[in-house]
């Protein structure tokens, strides 16, 4: 079975070392150092990782992330390469399920912040795996969007989501749809068909979990 979580993790770590700690990312205001610290908090600090999703814990999580980011950059990247087996998100049972998506997204966060980037030609099996995640992500992230959204990945599948209303069609490769639905609309190469106003609102919406 392909281990896309591992290959994306290694590729991200290699790129982080190549670019150094101050390179920009797609995440507004974050450098590669900031992103490295985020990944370490997520895997190694369960007490602080809840702040990624839960607003009441956000202050503690951000304080821990900032302290972690102050460490030597090469050490941060080395620790990303060696995830702890005890972690809820990186143990052998959960790694591919959870991190195949996480590290693909963050690898692209670094890649697509550089001038002249191009989408990668991903293997069909990886695209299929990403489509499964995209379909689930769309159901959660877009369930309240005020439109009838048809999400299509030609050759992989389609999913209808949204709260209902005007019809929009969002078409792209699975990896591009993952980036779009996770809030990276400005760097995701997808096509949005439908009325101009809701289409523009979708492109500007705060998406993701």
- Residue 186, both tokens: 């400005």
One-character DSSP codes across 49-88:
HGGGT-GGGHHHHHHHHHHHHTS-HHHHHHHHHS--TT-T
Calculate mean pLDDT across residues 184-198. Answer: 96
Calculate mean pLDDT across residues 72-95. Answer: 93
Whole-number Å distance between alpha carbons of 197 and 11: 38
pLDDT band at 33 (very low <50, low <70, confident <90, very high): very high
- What dihedral do alpha carbons 148, 153, 154, 157 form, nearest 10°? -80
Whole-number Å distance between alpha carbons of 5 and 10: 9
Task: Say if residue 100's pLDDT is above 60.
Answer: yes
Give the pTM.
0.92
Neighbours of 1 (CB within 10 A): 5
Q: What is the pLDDT of residues 121-152, one digit of tens each?
A: 999 999 999 999 999 999 999 999 999 999 99
């Amino acid at each position: 079975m392909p281990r896309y979580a591992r290959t994306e993790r290694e590729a991200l770590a290699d790129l982080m070392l190549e670019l150094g700690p101050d390179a920009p990312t797609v995440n507004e205001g974050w450098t590669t150092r900031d992103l490295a610290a985020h990944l370490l908090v997520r895997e190694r600090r369960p007490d602080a990782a809840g702040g990624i999703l839960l607003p009441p814990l956000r202050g503690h999580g951000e304080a821990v992330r900032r302290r972690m980011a102050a460490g030597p950059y090469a050490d941060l990247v080395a620790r990303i390469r060696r995830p702890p087996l005890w972690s809820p998100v990186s143990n052998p049972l959960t790694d591919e399920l959870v991190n195949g998506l996480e590290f693909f997204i963050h690898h692209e966060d670094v890649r697509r912040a550089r001038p002249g980037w191009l989408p990668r030609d991903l293997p069909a099996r990886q695209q299929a795996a990403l489509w499964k995640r995209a379909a689930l992500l769309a159901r959660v992230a877009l369930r309240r969007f005020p439109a009838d959204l048809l999400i299509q990945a030609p050759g992989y599948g389609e999913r209808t989501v949204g709260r209902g209303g005007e019809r929009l069609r969002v078409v792209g490769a699975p990896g591009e749809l993952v980036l779009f639905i996770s809030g990276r609309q400005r760097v995701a190469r997808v096509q949005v068909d439908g009325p101009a106003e809701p289409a523009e609102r979708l492109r500007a919406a705060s998406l993701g979990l």
